[in-house]
Chains A and B, each alone.
Chain A
Amino acid sequence: MGKTVFIKDTTIGGKDRTRDVYGILLGVLRERGLENNVQLVRVVDIGVYGQGVVVRVLPENFLYTHVEDADIVGIVEQSLIGGKPFAAKLVAEGARQLRIVLRNCGVIDPESIEEYIAKDGYQALAKVLSDTPEKTLQEMKTSGLRGRGGAGFPTGMKWEFTRKSPGAQKYIICNGDEGDPGAYMDRSVLEGDPHSVIEGMIIGGYAIGASKGYFYIRAEYPLAIERIEKALHQCREAGLLGKNIFGSSFSFDVEIRLGAGAFVCGEETALIASIEGKRGYPSPRPPFPSVKGLWGKPTCINNVETLANIPVILLKGGAWFAGIGTASSKGTKVFAVTGKVKNSGLVEVPMGTAIEDIVYGIGGGALAGKSVKAIQTGGPSGGVIPKEHFSTKVDYESLQQMGSIMGSGGMIVMDEDDCMPDIAKFYLGFCVDESCGKCAPCRIGGTQMLRLLTKVTEGEGTPKDLEQLEQISHAMQKASLCGLGQTAPNPVLSTLHYYRAEYDAHVKNKKCPACKCAKLVRFLIMSEKCVKCGMCFKACPVNAISGNRESGYLIDQTKCIRCGQCFEACKPRAISRS
């Protein structure tokens, strides 16, 4: 392979010098008559951020950061001619992803069972079926895999409980009711590698002694449903579902059931009620589903990501899997890194990777011209983690210590424009909407908290309201029936804990430091900067701006609806927002 050089100026802010460096490098190559032997390429993303000019030399994959113009000759002579690293600027590759769950996503055609088989698909199933279910349970326990749906219960134990529960008929359910707004790991796996989830489910069925499985998938994911349907059909054709799989005595089949837009149905007992064709009301546990689940039979419910891990674990061995991650959390975790981040997308990293490596190293940090303020994990059940704590390593325990949770894997990045009480209100509003209404703490507590938060964000709040928010939060955590109500106050408590000053500013000074809460924002024209162009006058949708091009303009605060259009329209930035 000939040499290829990737170039990208990753400096944040300032002029992009990618083209200049490209020109200099090309000049140096021409001087040496090498311009036809080396491919120079300007790239959009080089996998490193905020490290000045970055140069990558392939096929050796030497990575150079903070490259100055003076270094270029050295790089050409050492690396391009000599094939050796240019030591002065060489850096090791930063945080990289490790793909176990997403191993086939974006690699194979999800609609082709042959391509999955070519990637060692269904080998684990064949291996498992030639041994006892106990062996599989043992292997799963060795692996230390914990449920990826949020709570992090060890999968091997869950399977064993279900296996040991008395009863001839047992069920395994794949929970694909990904309701956390802002997270879509499960959708991506179901769409990108449906067979891995199905294989995991068949293995689970064998291990717990179930003859029937159910996929419970959100109706909002039509493509995921279509691909799972296709994959199930292919499995039946190939005899991977049905009677006597691989000639063994094990028979198994799967049905799809659709969710119908109820967040609470992600909760195990509510999900079971929904599959039974009823409204998705949770019921008290115990009895746990592993004892009394679907139609009163022992049932095991696993998340999509959990199941996608299983074929790899059983093929490579539990010990191999246990070698990845931290002491208490094994393997990898897929995060949907979204919000105010440069590269929003899916990221799979080993447990124990620092938050900063995910947000800055892989996510590329904040959007142009902004700075990251915090992340939020765990969706409506989780909490925020301020940037001061970004050295935290992600695993189940450490995130809990920070007042958040692992959750299903949403990681929302927020920047300086995001207001914490407003975020808390957003999540709480979600939980109030989605509360099924069965138990009073969640139904009433949620509504009252939302009322208080609305007061706060509208500048009507008092210090007593903040106290009350905390009180109700604690009551809800203790007294709610299911996980939805117990965790709904988390976003409020964690923002109160880390950003008390921001709440105080809303309550005491009637100000929103992030200028997000419309009722607390005031737009003013600074006459000393104003060039009297009249753009704001034209932009205002409610005619709250009066004046003319000679006398200048004035905003009538009683008419202003704080839409911010004048602020955006003002070229000389003569409108202040406070």
Chain B
Amino acid sequence: MEKLTKDGLEKLRQQHAAADKNYIKVGFSSCGIAAGAQEVYDVLCEEVRKHNADVEIKKCGCVGMCSAEPLVEVRVKNMPRVFYGKVDKETAIKIVEKHVGAKMLLNDRIYDMKVS
């Protein structure tokens, strides 16, 4: 990476500004990892590859809902942004199949949502 100038910083900012894309974020802080974030992340990656789903999987820090870890945020265009809590392998598979694939939210798994 070159030494940043002010213009360079601005350019970089615009380049990486949030695009209107589908994503799944997995919380990777100590508490998330302790609760099993790595396994969830691996399953999600595997499923997305298998279904060739139109979604990007990212890692992020802690949202603060530690008692609901592992926490997975899902954003699919034209659907509410939601947080699935206490995600296990089965839920992870369903997230990709149902939520991302069939555009159906999962029952009894959502812990929070964002209006935006």
Check whether chain A touches chain B (CB < 8 angstroms). Answer: yes
A residues contacting B by CB (< 8 A) are 1-2, 4, 6, 39, 41-45, 47, 58-59, 61, 102, 104-111, 114-115, 117-118, 120-123, 126, 130, 187-188, 191-193, 221, 223-224, 234, 237-240, 246-247, 342-348
Q: In whole angstroms, how far apart are the Cα atoms of A239 and B12 in the complex? A: 14
Contact between chains at B16 and A238 (CB < 8 Å): no
Shortest CB-to-CB span from A356 to chain B, Å, is 19
Contact between chains at A192 and B29 (CB < 8 Å): yes
B residues contacting A by CB (< 8 A) are 1-6, 9, 12-13, 15-18, 25, 27-30, 33, 58-68, 71, 73, 78-80, 85, 104-113, 115
Q: In whole angstroms, how far apart are the Cα atoms of A126 and B6 in the complex? A: 6
Q: Which residues of A contact B12 (CB under 8 A)?
A: 114, 117-118
Contact between chains at A238 and B67 (CB < 8 Å): no
13 contacts between A and B (CB under 8 A): A1-B78, A2-B78, A6-B110, A43-B113, A44-B109, A61-B115, A105-B63, A109-B59, A110-B61, A115-B16, A118-B13, A188-B61, A246-B4
Contact between chains at A43 and B111 (CB < 8 Å): yes
Shortest CB-to-CB span from A314 to chain B, Å, is 15
Q: Which residues of B contact A121 (CB under 8 A)?
A: 13
Contact between chains at A45 and B111 (CB < 8 Å): yes
Q: In whole angstroms, how far apart are the Cα atoms of A44 and B107 in the complex? A: 8
Q: In whole angstroms, how far apart are the Cα atoms of A343 and B13 in the complex? A: 35
Contacts A61-B115, A123-B13 given: A109-B60 contact, CB under 8 Å? yes
Q: In whole angstroms, how far apart are the Cα atoms of A106 and B30 in the complex? A: 12
Known: A58-B113, A105-B60. 18 other contacts (CB 8 A): A6-B113, A42-B108, A45-B85, A104-B61, A105-B62, A106-B25, A106-B63, A107-B25, A110-B28, A117-B9, A118-B13, A188-B61, A191-B62, A193-B61, A240-B4, A246-B6, A342-B67, A344-B67
Q: Which residues of A contact B108 (CB under 8 A)?
A: 42-44
Shortest CB-to-CB span from B78 to chain A, Å, is 5
Shortest CB-to-CB span from A109 to chain B, Å, is 5
Q: Which residues of A contact B4 (CB under 8 A)?
A: 122, 238-240, 246
- Interface centre among A120, A192, A246, by most chain B C-beta atoms within 10 angstroms, is A192
Contact between chains at B60 and A239 (CB < 8 Å): no
Shortest CB-to-CB span from B47 to chain A, Å, is 20
- Interface centre among B27, B62, B66, B78, by most chain A C-beta atoms within 10 angstroms, is B62
Shortest CB-to-CB span from A11 to chain B, Å, is 17
- Our pick among A59, A106, A115 for the contact of B73 (Cβ within 8 Å) is A106
- Our pick among A42, A122, A221, A346 for the contact of B62 (Cβ within 8 Å) is A346
Contact between chains at B67 and A343 (CB < 8 Å): yes
Q: Which residues of A contact B67 (CB under 8 A)?
A: 342-345
- Our pick among B5, B27, B30, B107 for the contact of A247 (Cβ within 8 Å) is B5
Q: In whole angstroms, how far apart are the Cα atoms of A361 and B17 in the complex? A: 33
Q: Which residues of B contact A238 (CB under 8 A)?
A: 1-4
Q: In whole angstroms, how far apart are the Cα atoms of A234 and B73 in the complex? A: 27
Contact between chains at A4 and B9 (CB < 8 Å): no
Shortest CB-to-CB span from A455 to chain B, Å, is 36
Which chain A residue shows the least CB distance to B84?
A44
Which chain A residue shows the least CB distance to B77?
A1
Which chain A residue shows the least CB distance to B16?
A118
Q: Which residues of A contact B113 (CB under 8 A)?
A: 6, 43, 58
Contacts A43-B110, A44-B109, A221-B30 given: A345-B64 contact, CB under 8 Å? yes
Q: In whole angstroms, how far apart are the Cα atoms of A61 and B80 in the complex? A: 10
Shortest CB-to-CB span from B5 to chain A, Å, is 6
Q: In whole angstroms, how far apart are the Cα atoms of A42 and B84 in the complex? A: 12
Which chain A residue shows the least CB distance to B61?
A192
Contact between chains at B18 and A118 (CB < 8 Å): yes
- Interface centre among B16, B29, B66, B107, by most chain A C-beta atoms within 10 angstroms, is B29
